[in-house]
Amino acid sequence: MSKIKDIDIFEIGEIGGNSGSPWSSLLLILRLTTDDGYTGYGEAPTELMAMPVYEELKEISKIFQGKEVTEIQRNLSEAYKHEYWLPISMEATAALSAFEMASWDITGKIYGIPLYNVFGGVYNKEVRAYANGWYPDSIEPGDFVKNAEKTIKMGFSALKFDPFGDAFDYLGSEHVRHAVDIVSAIKKNFSNIDIMIECHGRFNANSAIRAGKAMEAFNPLFIEEPVHPDQMEGLYRFKNEVKIPVALGERVLNRNIFLEYMKNHLVDVIQPDIANFTGLMEAKSAAQMAQSFGMEVAFHNAYGPIQNAATLNIDFTLTNFLIQESFERFWPDWKLNLIKKSNFRLENGYFKIVDKIPGLGIVINEKILEEYTIKTMSPFNSDEPGWVIKGTFKFKR
């Protein structure tokens, strides 16, 4: 028996650094230690909610304290019983995801097995990645082309980006033309790459349809979150009008909610986020459910290296895997240095398994937990929402 003895929560980060991803300039790291000496790590997203998620981690701690760490399903069910807002609260699902992740990390270590073998074994010999975070300060087509060239030289053959500048809710004809110029320039210069169009869930249906129809000629692999996430009728309209696969899911918090999107044919590629979806088991379950609908999986993966490792452990097991979001090449040094050793290596645009470290397959550099301790909310910029790539929420008329 391995009971959870110590629960430590770390907020780490670097405010004012050079990261192009303001929403992930902070990380919330959970460390569980059992009474027989095993240690496991989890990660919860901050997403402009660092302090609320931090406090929810403390609330969930009351449920997990003293529990048998390997009884993961039992402990999750206990949390579901006590946490009234769990099905629809990002704070609750994010906190529970960290506990689930850390519990699996320890369970893998107890049995001496990497988690990709726990969740069905390796199916994909390598995992294709697409680059995100590669285009900070890109406004004009030439800016995007210059940054794309650097990124493609790193080995990536797929790029995701948001070409819509500072448009929000309404997308006018000038913004549409500018977006077309950006995407056209990238496709003209790099005809062999796959592209994905990011909308960040910020358009009304009329505007999203205009954007989608303008992008059809470029044959994107998918268009992501084209309408506001609470406008289901708008998504119906978009799906009926635009012939590009729709990807969404980073703001869907469990598989039961996903079922409504699937059975109503509102999504083609699901993108759950293992760090706010209550963890690996729920993510694997959603992927299997998507397979029943003939859909593929491309997990959202925009925060830190513990989330990245958890996500890759599931990716390698999926028969309906499509492609994996990766910010890794654009992380600041402190985030890169959080991991001393990993089962996974990104080479020429693909993740490969290079070791068999048990659990999540990572070795944490605890000096980073100490040196980069911080206690604050995510940075706020009144001129640019925190969810965009830094320096891109602009439009030159």
User: 5 φ, ψ to 5°?
Assistant: -100, -55
69's tokens = 């760490």
Is residue 388 in a domain? no
Of 63, 79, 113, which residue constitutes the final position of a domain?
113
Give the per-residue pLDDT at 23. 84
Tracing tokens 């010999």 back to the chain, one arrives at: 125
Q: Are residues 89 and 237 in the same domain?
A: no
Which alpha helices (H) appear in the chain, and where do they start and end? 50-64, 72-82, 90-111, 115-118, 141-153, 173-189, 205-215, 232-241, 255-263, 280-292, 305-315, 333-336, 366-371
Whole-number Å distance between alpha carbons of 74 and 66: 13
Q: Are residues 82 and 228 in the same domain?
A: no
CATH code for the domain in which residue 354 is found = 3.20.20.120
Whole-number Å distance between alpha carbons of 223 and 202: 13
Q: How many domains, the chain? A: 2
Of 64, 82, 113, which residue constitutes the final position of a domain?
113
Q: Are residues 147 and 107 in the same domain?
A: no
H/E run at residue 351? strand 350-353
Whole-prediction pTM value? Answer: 0.96
Q: What is the pLDDT of residues 38-80, one digit of tens each?
A: 999 999 998 778 999 999 999 999 999 999 999 999 999 999 9
Closest CA to 329 of 152, 187, 143, 98: 152
Does the pLDDT at position 85 exceed 90?
no
220's tokens = 């994107």
Is residue 49 in a domain? yes
CATH code for the domain in which residue 78 is found = 3.30.390.10
Higher pLDDT, 18 or 293: 293
Q: Are residues 171 and 155 in the same domain?
A: yes
Q: Are residues 121 and 87 in the same domain?
A: no
Residue 274 · residue 281 · CB < 8 Å: no
Q: Are residues 346 and 200 in the same domain?
A: yes
Type of residue numbered 31: R
Catalytic residue among 175, 178, 200, 228: 200
Q: Are residues 68 and 157 in the same domain?
A: no
Q: What is the pLDDT of residues 212-242, one digit of tens each?
A: 999 999 999 999 999 999 999 999 999 999 9
Q: Which residues contact 62 (CB under 8 A, 6 or more apart)?
A: none
Q: Are residues 104 and 182 in the same domain?
A: no
Our answer to whether residue 300 is catalytic in this structure is yes
Q: Which residues contact 95 (CB under 8 A, 6 or more apart)?
A: 44, 53, 56, 57, 59, 60
Q: Are residues 102 and 205 in the same domain?
A: no
Catalytic residue among 175, 178, 228, 300: 300
Give the per-residue pLDDT at 18. 66
Whole-number Å distance between alpha carbons of 70 and 118: 13
Whole-number Å distance between alpha carbons of 154 and 148: 10
DSSP assignment letter at 363? E
Count of residues making up the chain: 397
Closest CA to 280 of 151, 23, 102: 102
What radius of gyration, in Å, describes the C-alpha atoms of the chain?
A: 20
Q: Are residues 70 and 29 in the same domain?
A: yes
Give the per-residue pLDDT at 217. 97
Does the pLDDT at position 2 exceed 70?
yes
DSSP assignment letter at 236? H
Reading phi first (left if > 0) and then psi (alpha if -120 to 50, else beta), residue 367 is in alpha
Give the per-residue pLDDT at 17. 67
Q: What is the pLDDT of residues 129-183, one digit of tens each?
A: 999 999 999 999 999 999 999 999 999 999 999 999 999 999 999 999 999 999 9
Q: What is the pLDDT of residues 182-213, one digit of tens each?
A: 999 999 999 999 999 999 999 999 999 999 99
Reading phi first (left if > 0) and then psi (alpha if -120 to 50, else beta), residue 394 is in beta
Range 86-104 average pLDDT: 95
Distance of CA 324 to the CA centre of its chain: 9
Of 113, 132, 153, which residue constitutes the final position of a domain?
113
Print burial letters for 192-214: b (CB count within 10 Å at least 16), e (below 16): ebbbbbbbbbbbbbbbbbbbbeb
Give the per-residue pLDDT at 327. 97
Q: Are residues 179 and 235 in the same domain?
A: yes
Q: Are residues 164 and 228 in the same domain?
A: yes
Is residue 372 in a domain? no
Q: Which residues contact 168 (CB under 8 A, 6 or more apart)?
A: 202
Percent of the chain with pLDDT over 70: 99
Give the per-residue pLDDT at 94. 96
Is residue 391 in a domain? no
Is residue 394 in a domain? no
Count the Cβ atoms, other than its own, within 10 Å of residue 139: 18
Count the Cβ atoms, other than its own, within 10 Å of residue 62: 11
Is residue 177 in a domain? yes
Is residue 369 in a domain? no
Structural domain of 35: 4-113
Whole-number Å distance between alpha carbons of 366 and 377: 22
Range 283-293 average pLDDT: 98
Q: What is the pLDDT of residues 334-350, one digit of tens each?
A: 999 999 999 999 999 99
- Give the 3-state secondary structure of residue 215: helix
Does the pLDDT at position 15 exceed 80?
no
Is residue 334 in a domain? yes
Q: Which residues contact 324 (CB under 8 A, 6 or more apart)?
A: 127, 128, 129, 130, 298, 299, 301, 311, 312, 315, 351
**Averaged confidence pLDDT in the chain:** 96
